[in-house]
Structure 1
Amino acid sequence: MRLALTSDNIAGACEAVVAEMIKAAQGEAMPYGGDPLTEQVTKMFAELFECDVAVFLVSTGTAANVLSLAALTPPWGSVLCHPESHIVNDECSAPEFYTNGARLVGVAGEEAKISVSALEQAINKRMGDVHSVQPSAVSLSQVTEIGSVYSLAELQEISQLAHSKGLKVHMDGARFANALVSLGCTPAQMTWQSGIDIVSFGATKNGAMAAEAIVVFDKNLAQKLALLRKRGGHLHSKMRLLSAQMLGYLSDDVWLNNARHANAMMALLQKGMASIAGVEIIAPAQANMLFCRLPVGMAEALLAQGFSFYTGRWEEGVVRFVTSFQTQQADVEDFIACARDLSTSHTKTS
């Protein structure tokens, strides 16, 4: 198989993560998070975010998202999110399940980002009306599902509005590191300093084997989350193996270097594809994800040559490319060259 651009989930675990897991697998340790590694990782997150935090490790992004939302939203509440967000389209109604019925309400906005004016309308609509679900939380995807990134100013404006109406703010940070290096800011600036109450801190897409962290800035939510994690079946007995992944991931800037590489490979890919006749960049990539519209027949020809990527899931002719920490520059250049050859061949025969 040649270059695979289906998702950053296809990449394996990076060496630093595997090495720490091998160390942690030796000997014995107290279960359910009562081990020294989990304590160490909690301290690392506090240093990373420059504040006291509660940390709940889980093994999937779905678990991180839905447990976070369950802590913020009563069964009669609603979660305001973009219609293209992952929790709407790719969680198989898990948010509704874990919140015992809270509703996901789509709030429109350009580039898959929630519009502040649309959010204000959604919050005010039938608030206090006993016949309607009550707005309870806002969920933001950072990076969004089309590869765009909320600026710090956008995060702050949305959070200020939400808090002024009594709503909490959740960040789906499945690609947290990719967004962070794109903005060139600190974890604190992109979260609690911008008004985020709780973040699903993703690691699996960027080098972990299976580890995500729910990082809680509002400590009043900690006890509720502890119980929700256990009741939901996501309290791992051998927690040290999840903590070991985070230790390897966060040490020596591994997580940031992985994200920088993935983003750089996407920048290279985007530049190359934009130079090819007939290729339309639908939304410029700000991190490691890109949506394009390819000339008729190009996607099928590239797939036939052994490349892999998603096509046709959104609309006819639209493809999605995602790079990862394992994506190699030579492979990206090979892909661009093949796409250019196909474009040239098509032009000659037309």
Structure 2
Amino acid sequence: MNFASDNIVGASAPVLQAIVEANAGAMAAYGNDEISKRVRTRFNEIFEREVSVFFVTTGTAANALALSSAVPPYGLCVCHREAHIIDDECGAPEFFMHGAKLAGLPGVGAKLRAEDVAAYLESLPKAVKQMPPKALSISQVSEGGMVYGLDELSALGGVCREHGLSFHMDGARFANALVSLGCTPAEMTWKQGVDILSFGATKNGGLMAEAIVVFKPELAEALDYRSKRAGQIISKGRLAASQFEGYFADDHWLANARHANRMAALLSAGLLQVPGVRLGWPSQANEVFPIIPKALDRALKAAGILYHGWTELSLPETERVADHEVLIRLVTSWATREEDVRRLLELASSEVGRQAAE
């Protein structure tokens, strides 16, 4: 049973079928085909306005290129200190921003609060020695599996406007956040001030389906050139774009995300019934971060259950992991089976019961 991430499962059947159908015949290259044009129109419909869309193959490429359009080489991008862009992308954002820096701030569950961002921005000296802040980047869902509410997004958007920052959203788990909030894509992005979005589908049923969606036109001006220099202008662009046709058809993307979130909710609720187990923070999408006894951790791993340990940096001030405990991350996906979730819960419950009886 593998709960290591939501990118460990393959692509969904509708996505694969769309690729097969797009494969037939000859079409214009480099994204000038009819499929790519249809998908760009579909993005306009989904976001209820005209947007610029750039297809890329990885979330790292999406984030790095998106930020490169918003932050000059002498600038600063503010993010959470455990954000994917600062922890897991091997310096790609800084590389494509040509030397600009990332400034990581703390926050429970890997979320940023508007008041903390504002306080940090106001504390920066206004001198040529200091790199000026040019963008704010948040992850929706956060690296802690938490979801920014619309009021929180609006507040962060307000801080960006007040301080002249572009507002970037890393939406690697965009659909999971969307169904968690029960809102529209427009309500979760540009209506709250988001200027540019890394729209991820790979973790929710795509093969390698990522896109940069731009709401602020001036940020799109050079992205074609930046994408080409990064090797992200895809020759057979129709095969990349076609994934989104299968993904969006019949709201397949939303159904996938609802299933993943539902499996995480089942897992979260079940773990809370196991003595000695608690959550580091609430589970709001498709990731669960329980604090469990080390003996249980060993037993689960011995049973072949795969997952990752996690850092304690984003725990609330009132929460601590004791010496006999460990914080772990469990991730569910569109393909997670309910029987696997229940099997994990049964193993956890029986193991804790066995240890208590000894």
- Please classify the TM superposition score into its range, dividing by the shorter chain length: over 0.9
Q: 1:128 Cα shift?
A: 3.4
1:20 aligned to which of 4, 15, 18: 18
Q: Deviations over 1:195-221 (max 9, x none)?
A: 000100110000000010100011122
1:122 aligned to which of 113, 120, 123: 120
2-structure distance, mates of 1:25, 1:127: 55
1:41 aligned to which of 39, 42, 48: 39
Q: 1:296 Cα shift?
A: 2.4
Q: Deviations over 1:246-293 (max 9, x none)?
A: 110011100000000000000000011000001121111000001111
Alignment of structure 1 residues 71-220 onto 2, 5 Å = 71-126=69-124, 128-220=126-218
Q: Is the 8 A contact 2:80 2:112 kept in 1?
A: yes
2:53 aligned to which of 55, 64, 86: 55
Q: 1:108 Cα shift?
A: 2.4
Q: What residue is the counterpart of 1:335 in the other structure?
A: 344
Q: What residue is the counterpart of 2:279 in the other structure?
A: 281
Q: Is the 8 A contact 1:299 1:311 kept in 2?
A: no
Q: Which runs of 4+ in 1 moved over 6 A?
A: none
- Secondary structure in structure 2 of the residue aligned to 1:283: coil
1-structure distance, mates of 2:354, 2:222: 60
Q: What residue is the counterpart of 2:293 in the other structure?
A: 295
* Partner AA of 2:287 in structure 1: M
Q: Deviations over 1:152-211 (max 9, x none)?
A: 000001111111111110000000000000000000000000100010011000000001
1:262 aligned to which of 260, 263, 268: 260
* Partner AA of 2:94 in structure 1: E
2-structure distance, mates of 1:335, 1:148: 22
Q: 1:312 Cα shift?
A: 5.7
Number of equivalences: 347
Note the residue ranges of structure 2 that are not aligned, 5 or more in a row. Answer: 313-320
1-structure distance, mates of 2:266, 2:108: 25
Structure 1 pair 312–253 and aligned structure 2 pair: CA distance change class (3 A): closer
1:241 aligned to which of 239, 244, 251: 239
Which deviates more, 290-299 or 49-58? 290-299
Q: 1:309 Cα shift?
A: 0.8
Q: Deviations over 1:2-43 (max 9, x none)?
A: x21000000110000000001111111111111000000000
- Secondary structure in structure 2 of the residue aligned to 1:188: coil
Is the counterpart of residue 231 in structure 1 residue 240 in structure 2?
no
* Partner AA of 1:286 in structure 2: Q
2-structure distance, mates of 1:103, 1:221: 19
2:335 aligned to which of 323, 326, 340: 326
1-structure distance, mates of 2:157, 2:309: 35
Structure 1 pair 112–123 and aligned structure 2 pair: CA distance change class (3 A): same
Q: Is the 8 A contact 1:108 1:115 kept in 2?
A: no
Q: 1:313 Cα shift?
A: 5.9
Q: Is the 8 A contact 2:111 2:144 kept in 1?
A: no
- Secondary structure in structure 2 of the residue aligned to 1:318: strand
- Secondary structure in structure 2 of the residue aligned to 1:319: strand
- Secondary structure in structure 2 of the residue aligned to 1:251: helix
Normalised to the residue count of structure 1, the TM-score between the two structures is 0.97
* Partner AA of 2:346 in structure 1: A
* Partner AA of 2:333 in structure 1: S
